[in-house]
Amino acid sequence: MNLTTMKRLLAGIVVFTAVQTAVGQDLIAKQAPIDRKLQAADSVAMVLMLEVEDEIDNLYKSWDNSSTHCYSRADVPDSLEIDLRGFSMPTTSRKVTSGFGYRPRFRRMHKGIDVKVQTGDTIYAAFDGKVRIVRYERRGYGKYVVLRHENGLETIYAHLSKYLCDVNEDVKAGQPIGLGGNTGRSFGSHLHFETRVMGEAINPAFLFDFANQDVTGDTYMFRKQKADTYFTGPGTKNNVASAGKRYYKVRKGDSLSRISSRTGTSVAQLCKINRITKKTTLRPGQLLRF
Ligand SMILES: [Zn+2]
C-alpha cells in the first residue's frame, strides 16, 4: 500500500467515525440503528471507490517516454472498469475502413481500428490525459502519438501528417493533438487508432462507435484475455474459448441474424454483449463476442 492509498483510506475512516458519532448524537434511539447502517454502508462504498481510483493510479508504475510497448503482460490487471464519460471522438469521421482483429493476409493482428480521414484533418485527444510518446516510425505507425489517461487507458493515434502536442504535455479531451495523414506503413490517408490497458489492446469498437460518434456506454469492463487468440467462427478448430469468451469474425455479407444462427446466440444477446444495435453497420473483419 503506498502513501496515497493510506491517506485516502485514513480519510475514509475519519469520515466514517465522524458520521457514526453524529448519528449517535442526533437521532432518536429507535431510528439510529437503521440510519447508522445506511451511513456505514455509504462510508464503506466511499472507501471502496477510493480504492478503485488508486488501482488506476497504481496500474502504471512508470512513466516511460522511450518505449511505446513497455509493459509486461503479467502486469495487466484481470479486470478494470473503464470510465468512458468525458470522452471525445478522436475524429469526426464516421467511416471505419478496417476493424480490429487477425488479418490472414498479413498473418498478424491488427491491434487497432482504421478510420478514414483526409490528410490535414484534425485528430483529437479521446480523454483528458498526458502525452507519453510523440514519435516517427517509418515502417510502422509513421508519425504517432501515445496518450495516457486517468481512466486506465492508453490511446495511440498513428499515420499522422503533423503533431500538435509535445511529450509530457497535459491534454484535455477534444484537444487537437495532430493532423491525419498517410505516414509510415499506410496505404491511403487514415487514422489508425488503438486503445490499450497496460499494453493489452482492446478492440476500440468495444469503446467507440465511430458511425454514431459516441461511446458504447458510460463504462466498459475490460477483462484480460487468457491467451492472445481470437476466433474466426464456428467450424474452425480454434472455435473454443480458452478465456470463456468467443469471438466471431464478421464476413462480407454477414447480417446479425446470419451470425445469430451461425453462433447459436440470439440477435438480442449479440447486441447486448457487443453493445451494438440492430441498426449498427457490420464491417468485415470486425470481431463480435458471442
Ligand atoms: Zn490500422
pLDDT in the model for residue 159? 98
In the CATH hierarchy, which top-level class contains the domain 227-290?
alpha beta
Q: Has residue 248 got a pLDDT over 50?
A: yes
Residue written as grid cell 464503506: 44
Question: In the structure, what pLDDT confidence band is assigned to residue 44 with cuts at 50, 70 and 90?
Answer: low
How far apart are the C-alpha atoms of 143 and 38, rounded to whole Å?
Answer: 53
Distance 192 CA to ligand 1 centre (A): 4
Compute the distance from residue 115 Cα to the ligand 1 centre, in Å: 8
Cα(73) to centroid(ligand 1), Å: 22
Q: Return the residue matching grid coordinates 466511499.
A: 46
pLDDT beyond 60 at 275: yes
Rounded percentage of the chain residues whose pLDDT exceeds 70:
74
> Burial level of 86, CB count in 10 A (0-12/13-18/19+)?
middle
Give the mean pLDDT of 196-208.
96
- State in Å: Cα 209 to ligand 1 middle: 16
**How many whole angstroms from 48 Cα to the centroid of ligand 1?**
38
pLDDT band at residue 135 under the 50/70/90 scheme: very high
Separation between Cα atoms, residue 249 and residue 147, nearest integer Å: 29
Q: How far is the CA of 193 from the centre of ligand 1 (A)?
A: 7
Tens digits of per-residue pLDDT, 218-239? 999 999 987 544 444 333 333 3
The pTM (predicted TM-score) of the whole model is 0.63
Range 70-75 average pLDDT: 88
Q: Report long-range pairs for 13-22 (Cβ below 8 Å, ≥24 apart).
A: 13/47, 15/43, 15/46, 16/40, 16/43, 16/44, 16/47, 19/43
Kindly list the domain boundaries of the chain, sorted by start residue.
3-59, 75-224, 227-290
Cα distances (angstroms) measured from residue 52 to each of 83, 84, 143, 160 = 11, 15, 34, 35
Q: What fold is seen in the domain 75-224?
A: Glucose Permease (Domain IIA) (2.70.70)
